[in-house]
């Protein structure tokens, strides 16, 4: 079967890393080969899985392969993959040195975009049945990827025109033995489109996790709108850590429970059949057995599509 991506998106503090870890354990228990990957800058995946450290190194947890990438490693990998190409294109038009690579690497959204490329490459190789992806908080790189793709469309034509007018195409071809700047820009555009197509495909099973409060509701609505704009289907909206009636008699908790109920009704109204909820747990979801217990609860409540 084709590799499927089960991704979890949402603001920080919604428990998406824990739910991603439980999903990886549940899929492994069902006999699937699983790669669980966290690109959240707060490294808690290893903690949830009950292992010491999987930051910047692929770690086996039973039959699961787990990895958390630090910001420093992400930017190093970006430089290794795209640094020379970026320099080649920019230096064709402007008198710049190789320090321009570090300047571009520091641009907002570069790391988020590279992480999407990283997931795309793992998905394309097809080494796993499932990739479980714990995304950065709020997932702001999606819009930038779309803007980038549209920018490349304009840059391709602009580069061709510039090179024609200046009469330097042959000179650049001698300098660059394999690809001219306009060809590189065209390849970037196609790569951005391929990543967007992957995210919009039936192989991508996208979940939004949220807390049942007004901020969570606002972020969820924004994310849902963003995905809808890019024709990326949201499979589930998971309201996590929901207080159940009678769970506590403390006045402050009862007030929070009432607010949650109001937000849950709004989530139900907007997201209907793709909406589900998970109660506030009475145990710590750490380690295999606790994660399997959470997975069973997620399955029972219809909260994960796989």
Per-residue pLDDT reduced to its tens digit, 187-214: 887 888 888 899 999 999 999 999 998 8
Which residue do the tokens 């580069």 mark?
A: 159
Average pLDDT of every residue of the chain: 83
| Strands lying side by side in the sheet with 234-242 | 59-61, 64-68, 34-38, 130-134, 4-9, 204-211, 234-242, 275-279
Give the C-alpha separation, 132 to 189, whole Å: 26
pTM beyond 0.85? no
pLDDT of residue 178: 58
Would you state the torsion angle of the CA atoms of residues 188, 193, 194, 198, taken in this order, to the nearest 10 degrees? 140
pLDDT of residue 154: 47
pLDDT of residue 120: 93
DSSP 134-164: EPPGGGTHHHHHHHHHHHHHHHHHHHHHHHH
pLDDT digits (tens, 9 = 90+) for 248-283: 555 667 777 888 889 999 999 999 999 999 998 888
**39 near 110, Cβ under 8 Å?**
no
Indicate the pairing of strand 4-9 with strand 204-211: parallel
Residue ranges and CATH numbers for the domains of the chain are 4-76+105-300 (3.40.50.300)
**Does residue 142 register a pLDDT over 70?**
no
In which band, very low, low, confident or very high, does the pLDDT at 24 lie, cut at 50, 70 and 90? very high
């Amino acid at each position: 079967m084709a590799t499927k991506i089960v991704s979890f998106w949402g603001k920080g503090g919604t428990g998406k890393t824990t739910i991603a870890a439980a999903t990886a354990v549940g899929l492994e228990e069902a006999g699937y080969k699983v790669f669980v990957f966290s690109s959240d800058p707060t490294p808690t995946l290893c903690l949830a899985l009950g292992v010491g450290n999987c930051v910047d190194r692929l770690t086996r947890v039973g039959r699961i392969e787990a990895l958390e990438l630090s910001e420093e490693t992400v930017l190093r990998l970006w430089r290794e993959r795209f640094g020379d190409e970026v320099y080649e294109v920019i230096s064709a038009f402007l008198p710049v040195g190789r320090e321009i690579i570090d300047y571009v690497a520091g641009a907002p959204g570069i790391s988020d975009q590279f992480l999407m490329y990283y997931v795309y490459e793992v998905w394309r190789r097809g080494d796993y049945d499932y990739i479980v992806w714990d995304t950065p908080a709020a997932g702001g790189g999606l819009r930038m990827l779309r803007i980038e793709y549209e920018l490349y469309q304009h840059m391709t034509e602009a580069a061709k025109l510039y090179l024609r007018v200046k009469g330097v195409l042959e000179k650049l071809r001698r300098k660059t033995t394999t690809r001219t700047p306009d060809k590189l820009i065209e390849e970037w555009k196609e790569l951005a489109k391929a990543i967007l197509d992957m995210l919009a495909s039936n192989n991508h099973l996208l979940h939004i996790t949220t807390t049942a409060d007004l901020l969570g509701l606002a972020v969820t609505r924004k994310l849902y709108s963003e995905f809808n704009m890019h024709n990326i289907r949201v499979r589930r909206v998971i309201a996590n850590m929901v207080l159940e009636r009678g769970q506590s008699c403390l006045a402050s908790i009862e007030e929070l429970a009432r607010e949650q109920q109001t937000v849950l009704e709004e989530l139900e109204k907007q997201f209907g059949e793709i909406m589900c909820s998970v109660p506030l747990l009475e145990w710590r979801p750490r380690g295999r057995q606790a994660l399997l217990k959470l997975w069973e609860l997620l399955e029972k409540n219809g909260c994960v599509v796989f």
